Chain A
Amino acid sequence: MRIPCPYCGARSSHEFAYLGDAAPTRPDPSAPDAAEAFHSYVYERDNPAGPMDELWYHSAGCRRWLKVTRDTRTHAITAVAFAGTGEGGR
């Protein structure tokens, strides 16, 4: 599988480290239901058959986190962007 990095170009997936689902966002630790929210954040994952947003780290290239939309059935990648909001994902 080759991942089209927005900076580096298409690269073999072995240059990347895989984190997984890009959907979970860190809960507010001061919220009253923080313990339950963190349990869900850390452990609970969907397992979709189809397109999924995932986080990949280009550890052997530009060292940026990418948000990759990949079809889990075919490995077809339909979108890639730097994760985060700043320039270059920072």
Chain B
Amino acid sequence: MSDLLEHIAPTRLVPEGHYGPEGATGVSARAANTSASPLAAATLVARKGATGRLIVACAAAGLPLADAPRSSGGAGLEAVGTGPGRWLVLAEGMSGPDLVARLAGMAQGLAAITDQSDAHLILDICGERARAALEKGVTVDLEPTVFRAGDAATTVVSHVGVTFWQRDGATYRFAVGRSFAPAFLRWLTVSAAEFGFALAGTGRG
């Protein structure tokens, strides 16, 4: 891929550190689900014909859901639309089984709920040049007037399937299948290095 990654095994996460020109950090990325900071995840899928009722039930329990590629937050949870009647739900500082139980209580039998806590690397990407780096592989239009805070997309980056959403003006959160995360991080590292890239939370790779 490039000299930058020559000595990093393609099967391992890119180790935390600084890549590219010294003294510049145009892009920062941090793994958000590490053993030090657990982040539970689950998929919430409406039963056939029950999407509308599920949205009403979850809203009543404090979690607003949009049946659209959007993220929303409430009741300490973060929900992201990944398809019609389908969401990925994240919860900080909670265990997977606790999140599943919590969602089951909210959904009142209107949804299938599956623990996905081990499924993804969750990566928060920010910095002045984050968009410039992401645009090298993301084919969704990230122009701020088009892709705004709360917008989400499930798509392919460098042949790797991802779901990502913009959390606020400055941060993109990516969920990448765990076994594909080394390849995604290699793409991100070579794409961001020219701006100065600070990577944290991946340990020694």
Residues on A lying within 8 angstroms of B by beta carbon are 7-9, 11-12, 14-15, 60-64, 82, 86-90
Contact = CB atoms under 8 A, between A and B. Distances in A.
B140 interface: yes
Contacts of A63: 83
The 5 closest A-B pairs by CB, nearest first: A88-B84, A62-B83, A60-B156, A61-B154, A12-B139
Given A11-B155, A14-B156, A86 B49 contact: yes
30 contacts: A7-B68, A7-B69, A7-B83, A7-B84, A8-B69, A8-B154, A9-B69, A9-B140, A11-B140, A15-B156, A60-B155, A60-B161, A61-B153, A61-B154, A61-B155, A62-B69, A62-B84, A62-B86, A62-B154, A63-B83, A64-B83, A87-B49, A87-B84, A87-B85, A88-B67, A88-B83, A88-B84, A88-B85, A90-B48, A90-B85
B51 interface: yes
Interface residues of B, number: 19
Contacts of B25: none
Contacts of A60: 154-156, 161
Given A7-B68, A62-B154, A88-B51, A82 B139 contact: no
A64 B84 contact: yes
A4 B173 CA distance: 24
B117 interface: no
A90 B84 contact: yes
Given A60-B156, A60-B161, A88-B83, 20 more contacts: A7-B83, A7-B84, A8-B69, A9-B69, A9-B153, A11-B140, A12-B139, A15-B155, A15-B156, A60-B155, A62-B69, A62-B82, A62-B83, A62-B84, A63-B83, A64-B83, A86-B48, A87-B84, A88-B51, A90-B85
